[in-house]
Each structure stands twice: as C-alpha cells, then as structure tokens.
Amino acid sequence: MTMPVPTTAESRSKRSAVKTRARDRMREIRKHKHYFLLLAPGIIYFLLFNYWPMLGITIAFKDFRLMDGVLGSPWAGLKWFHLLFQSPDFWVALRNTVIISFYKLIFNFPAPILLALLLNEVYHTGFKRIVQTIVYFPHFVSWVILGGILFSLFSTGSGLLALFGQSVSPLMDPGKFRSMLVLTEMWKEVGWSTIIYLAAISGINPELYDAARMDGANRYHLIRHITLPSIAGTIVILLILRTGHILNVGFDQIFILYNPLVYNVADVLETYVYRVGITMGRYSFATAAGLFQSVVGLLLLLFTNRVAKRFGEQGIW
Amino acid sequence: MIHSFSSKVFNCVNNVFLLLLSAIMMFPLWREISISLSSKEEALRGGLFLWPREFTFSAYRYILGTDYIWAAYGNSIFVTVVGTALALLFTSSTAYPLAKRTLPWKSVFSVIIVFTMIFNGGLIPTYLVMRQLHLINTIWALIALNLISAFNVIIMMNFIRALPEELEESAMMDGANPIRIFFSLILPLCKPVLATLALWIAVGLWNNFYQAFIYLNDKSLTTLPVLLRLIIVGQQQESQLGQASDTATESVIAATILVTLLPILAVYPFLQKYFIKGALLGSVKA
C-alpha cells in the first residue's frame, strides 16, 4: 500500500489554516485586551502571594540561610524530615492535633444539627428570631476577646469555679483543657453553624409534612422521617468536608488559651510550626513540619472531596 | 393542625431549653459588660456579676484616656476600611473578566486561582516572601494578605455571570470599552454581593489577630486585638508576680474588650441578614 503523499497545494492550505487559526487567536486576544488588563492585577497578586511562597517550600529540603535566600541556600536532602520525625515534640503536636480535632468533630459537628432541629420546631417567629440573633452573635467574637472573657470567668475569684466545687481553673488543668477547647468552640460556633441546616430545612416541601400529618404522624415522626432524611445529604457532605480539615485545629483558639501548664495536651501542629519557625527562627525545620501538615491535609481533602462528590451524585439513601 | 397534649409539652420544654441556651450564650458577654461598669475594687473581687457593682464609668474613662487605645483604634480602622475597599475592588476586577465565557485561556486562570484554595506555601515561606517584599512591620501586610481570596472571586464571578448580558451588549454598542463597563455598569449592579462580601472581609480584618501578631512587631502598629492580648498577658504576669497596676485591672480589660467589640455590636443587629446571606453564599460553594 502506498501512503497518500500530500500535494504541495494541500500542505500549503494546511499551513495557511494554521496561520489563520493563529491569526484568529491573536484577534481574540486583542479583542479581549481590556479584560486582560482588568485581570492582570489579580493574577499577579496570586502569583506573588500564593505561588511565590510555594516556591519557598523548597527550603524544607535545604539548609536555609537568610543571607543566601531561598534559591542560594544549599540543598540538604531529607535531613529536616529525619530530624522532624525524630523529634518527640512533633509527635506530641501531631497527636494533639488529631485528638483535639476528633473531639471537636464528635461533639461540635452534631450540636448545630440538633439545635437547628429544635429551632425549626419553634412556631413563634418573634421568639425564634430573638434566639437566633443571640446564638449567632458569638461567631463574631474573636478568640482574643473570648480569651479575655474566659480567663476572667474561670479565674479563682470569679465565683464560677466555686459554684462547681472547683479550685483550679480548667484552663490550667491538663485533664480538662481539651474539654474546654471543645466547649468554648461550641459556644462560639454552634449557633452560626445552624444557618446552613436551617436553610436546608426551609427548602423541604411542606406538602410532605401535610401528607404525613394526614397519616397521623406526630412531631417526632415528622422529624425522624421527613426533616432528618431531607437534610441528610447536607449533613453527610459537611461531615465529609469537615473530615478533610482534621489537621487544622485553628491557631487562634489554641494560641490564645494555652499556657505552659497544658502544652503537653494542647500544642498542635499550627502552634508548633509557629513556635519553631517564627519564635526560634528554625525556618527550614518549621517549613518541613508545615509541609508535612499541608501535604497530608491536601491528600485528605482530595480524598474526602472525591467521597463527597460520589455521595452528591448518587444521593444518600 | 392538631395540637396534642404531648406536642404542647414538647413546645414548652423546647422553648425553655432555647431560653436557657440563650442565657448561657449571653452570660459571658453580659458579665463582661457588668465588670466594665463596676469599680476597680469590686471588679477585682470577682463574682458572677449579673449586674454592675458600684456603678462607674471610670474604667472607660481610664482606657479612653490613654494614647495607645486611640492609636490601636486608628490602625484597626485603617486596616479595616482601606483593606475592605481594596479587597472589593481587586476581587471584582479579577472576577469580571473570568465571568466572560469567551476569554482566552480562561481555564488556565481559573486553575491558577482555584488551586490556592486547596494548597498554600504555609506560614514560614509566606513570612519569608513578606520579608522580601518589605511588608513586615507595615500596616499593608494585613491588607496585602487579605486582598483577594479565591473563594470571594468565585462568589463574585457566579454573581456577575447571572447578570443579564443584554445590558452589557447595549453598552458595548454605545462604544464603551469593558473597563468602563466594569466601573460604570457592572460594579453598581453587584451592590448586593459587594455588601455581603464587604461585611465579611471587614469583620475578618477587624478581628484579625494571627497575622497582626506575626507581621507587626512595631509598637506604633498595634491593632486592637493585639493590644488586647498584650494587656491580658500583662495582667496575668502581674498577678503571678503579685503586683497590680492600673493598666490591667479586671475592669479596664473588660472595658477594652467592649470598646473592641463595640463596632461589631453596633452593626450586627441591623446587618444580621447580610451576614447570614454571606454564610449561605459560602456554603453553596463548599
């Protein structure tokens, strides 16, 4: 068999087609030049403040010296990771991160669901709105402020400790500190987190309730068999996404509330990286620890997102 | 609707529970207000403070009479106002071109932006970049770090995409270029989403402790959260040493807390609706 040899005319037309396509492309770009002009600052911003730091991650594999800069510092292989995995403090921080996150997940994930269900059962709109206004507010109180309030509230002189027969502030007690983390976060976020569930509940078709009531269903039945299944999709998606963030405990809360008495149970990866990096200036070592956290976090996130998508497509039940 | 006896009991129990919950939620803040309005001696004695004791404004008079609270207030207001305005400008100028379906390399730009949502350089590399940009110990550090977030760009882009295209086309016919259309047509149409984002960004900047603490070490650059932290830590150290000074008594700390919280307390009841809208906007994407 002989291959069809392209004639000169054909190849010429092909070349000119490529040329016209390139010309069309150029025309498209010129036509959009104003849009590019608008977009440029934004893209430059992301390159400068997000991608340039990613380049800096290389110092986790280098002997970073400030004078030599990121590019000039000599490579060090996996030295910092070896040191990191041998450091007991790192393992304590990792362990605390997972434990605290897990506690928060167990208690602070279901709490807003329960609260949303209860709020939904309030028929008096005025009362409901007042309760909502009050329970949403702590979300806007920063941890610094909340820390100040808590130190005063749980100081030995406040009277609150005496009320519960305690003499040591739970914020200074390694046995109670993690519970305090869970409780204070619950105080701050439980109300605010109901918003998404209440929105999901308000999207339920009221005819479902009417039909069930006709069949003699009581309120428990309605909650159990209509409300809960209807928002189950939202719950599962949020649960999965939340699991993806298990390595992020939140720097502010821990940093504000912890103290030398509870370091052992409270130090998490975020505070560890801060202490080692910013306070002690061990940049390469801290970057290695941070990289470990963000890579494991990224893998978790990608995995949980995939699971969430799977559920989102197929429906839950 | 049938109101059975058990249903009424449930209503009752539910309402009492929610009332109690609201009280627990309010109590810490209420107690702080009471302490801030009590005398120094009474505040130091502690207690539940369901009501101010020896009512006085002296703590407020003291804290508002210091220079550092006003310096911190000035810094916080500057960061919040300028930071929010610039963030809105650059978030929308980034979102508008991306909302154009015909934009060449649109998917490349989108990937560049979206990827920052799932991965970042982390604390130390970012710190080093800020050093190289000479932004450490400048108030612009806070503004720069919070200028554009991928998340807000996406929210904004979705909003612009939903706007009717005919408006833009007729403006094009009149010979306006896209930059003019953006400023005179698109931005005014985006007011609802801009208002929601503005609140969100402003609260974030006002409450920003982490970045202010790490990037601003100069005393003249102290923002309110950092100042508050310094005062509280100062008090703890003093109490450990068995000393007490005027700057860090219970009542002065309480007054500082309330002065910091005041702007949010003032706008929250009126703007609650927008805050909630913002929360839902965010969760749709997640």
Which residues of chain B make contact with A191, given a CB cutoff of 8 A?
A: 25
**A174 min Cα distance to partner chain B (Å):** 19
Q: What is the mean pLDDT of residues A57-76?
A: 88
d(CA A227, CA A231): 6
Greater confidence (B252 vs A316) lies with: B252
**B58 min Cα distance to partner chain A (Å):** 19
pLDDT digits (tens, 9 = 90+) for B51-84: 888 888 888 988 888 888 999 999 999 999 999 9
State residue B121's pLDDT score. 87
Torsion of CA B221, B225, B226, B227, to 10 degrees: 80
Domains of chain B: 60-286 (1.10.3720.10)
Written in H, E and C, the secondary structure of A176-238 is CHHHHHHHHHHHHHCCCCHHHHHHHHHCCCHHHHHHHHHCCCCHHHHHHHHHHHHHHHHHHHH
Please determine, for residue A315, whether its predicted confidence score (pLDDT) is greater than 50: no
Q: Is residue A282 part of a domain?
A: yes
Q: Is residue A241 part of a domain?
A: yes
pLDDT digits (tens, 9 = 90+) for A231-263: 988 888 888 878 888 888 889 999 999 988 899
Q: Write out the two tokens for B86.
A: 């610039």
**B217 min Cα distance to partner chain A (Å):** 12
**B219 min Cα distance to partner chain A (Å):** 18
CB contact under 8 A, A57 and B121: yes
CB contact under 8 A, B120 and A278: no
Cβ neighbours of residue B99 closer than 8 Å, sequence gap 6 or more:
B157, B160, B161
Asked if B201 contacts B84 with a C-beta cutoff of 8 angstroms, the reply is yes
Classify A315 in phi/psi space as left (phi over 0), alpha (psi -120 to 50) or beta: left
Q: What is the mean pLDDT of residues B18-33?
A: 93
Please determine, for residue B286, whether its predicted confidence score (pLDDT) is greater than 70: no
Q: Which amino acid is at B16?
A: V
Q: What is the mean pLDDT of residues B191-210?
A: 92
Which residues of chain A make contact with B261, given a CB cutoff of 8 A?
A: 141, 145
State residue B241's pLDDT score. 66
What is the tally of structural domains in chain A? 1
Average pLDDT, chain A: 87
pLDDT digits (tens, 9 = 90+) for B249-267: 888 889 999 999 999 999 8
Q: What is the mean pLDDT of residues B14-22?
A: 95
Q: What is the mean pLDDT of residues B209-230?
A: 92
Interface test with B, best of A115, A140, A236 (most B CBs within 10 A): A140
Indicate the pLDDT class of residue B284, thresholds 50, 70 and 90.
low
Please determine, for residue A316, whether its predicted confidence score (pLDDT) is greater than 50: no
Q: Is residue A175 part of a domain?
A: yes
Asked if A259 contacts A173 with a C-beta cutoff of 8 angstroms, the reply is no
Which residues of chain B make contact with A187, given a CB cutoff of 8 A?
A: 24-25, 28
Q: To the nearest whole percent, how much of chain A has pLDDT over 90?
A: 53
Three-state DSSP state, A62: strand
Q: What is the mean pLDDT of residues B19-25?
A: 94
Q: To the nearest whole percent, how much of chain B has pLDDT over 90?
A: 55
Indicate the pLDDT class of residue B119, thresholds 50, 70 and 90.
confident
Please determine, for residue A178, whether its predicted confidence score (pLDDT) is greater than 90: yes
Classify A169 in phi/psi space as left (phi over 0), alpha (psi -120 to 50) or beta: beta
Three-state DSSP state, A75: strand
Q: Write out the two tokens for B200.
A: 């969100």
Closest CA to A198 of A236, A234, A224: A234
Q: What is the mean pLDDT of residues B117-136?
A: 91
Q: Which amino acid is at A173?
A: D
Q: Is residue A268 part of a domain?
A: yes
CB contact under 8 A, A145 and B228: yes
Please determine, for residue A188, whether its predicted confidence score (pLDDT) is greater than 90: yes
State residue B246's pLDDT score. 60
Cβ neighbours of residue A129 closer than 8 Å, sequence gap 6 or more:
none
Is B240's Cβ below 8 Å from some Cβ in A? Answer: no
Q: Is residue A63 part of a domain?
A: no
Range of the domain at A233: 79-314
| Ranges A94-98, B57-61, B92-96: which has the least confidence | B57-61
Q: Is residue A244 part of a domain?
A: yes
CB contact under 8 A, B93 and A294: no
Q: What is the mean pLDDT of residues B98-125?
A: 90
Average pLDDT, chain B: 88
Please determine, for residue B272, whether its predicted confidence score (pLDDT) is greater than 90: no
Domain containing residue A182: CATH number: 1.10.3720.10
Q: What is the mean pLDDT of residues B104-132?
A: 91
pLDDT digits (tens, 9 = 90+) for A145-176: 999 999 888 887 666 777 777 778 888 889 99
Greater confidence (A13 vs A34) lies with: A34
pLDDT digits (tens, 9 = 90+) for B220-241: 999 999 999 998 888 777 766 6
Q: Is residue A59 part of a domain?
A: no
Which residues of chain B make contact with A42, given a CB cutoff of 8 A?
A: 90-91, 93-94, 113, 148, 153
CB contact under 8 A, A140 and B264: yes
Q: ipTM value of the model?
A: 0.90
Angle (CA) A13-A19-A24 rounded to 5° is 125
**A80 min Cα distance to partner chain B (Å):** 14
What phi and psi, each to the nearest 5 degrees, are found at residue A75? -70, 150
State residue A7's pLDDT score. 57
pLDDT digits (tens, 9 = 90+) for B132-188: 999 999 999 999 999 999 999 999 999 999 888 888 888 888 888 889 999 999 999
Q: Is residue A3 part of a domain?
A: no
Q: What is the mean pLDDT of residues A200-213?
A: 90
Q: For residue A293, what is the nearest residue in chain B, using CA coordinates? A: B122
State residue B3's pLDDT score. 63
Q: Helices then strands (H, E): number in chain B?
A: 15, 0
Q: What is the mean pLDDT of residues A301-306?
A: 83
Cβ contacts of A150-153, under 8 Å, gap ≥ 24: A150/A180, A150/A184, A150/A257, A150/B28, A151/B232, A151/B236, A152/B31, A152/B32, A152/B35, A152/B250, A152/B253, A152/B254, A153/B28, A153/B31
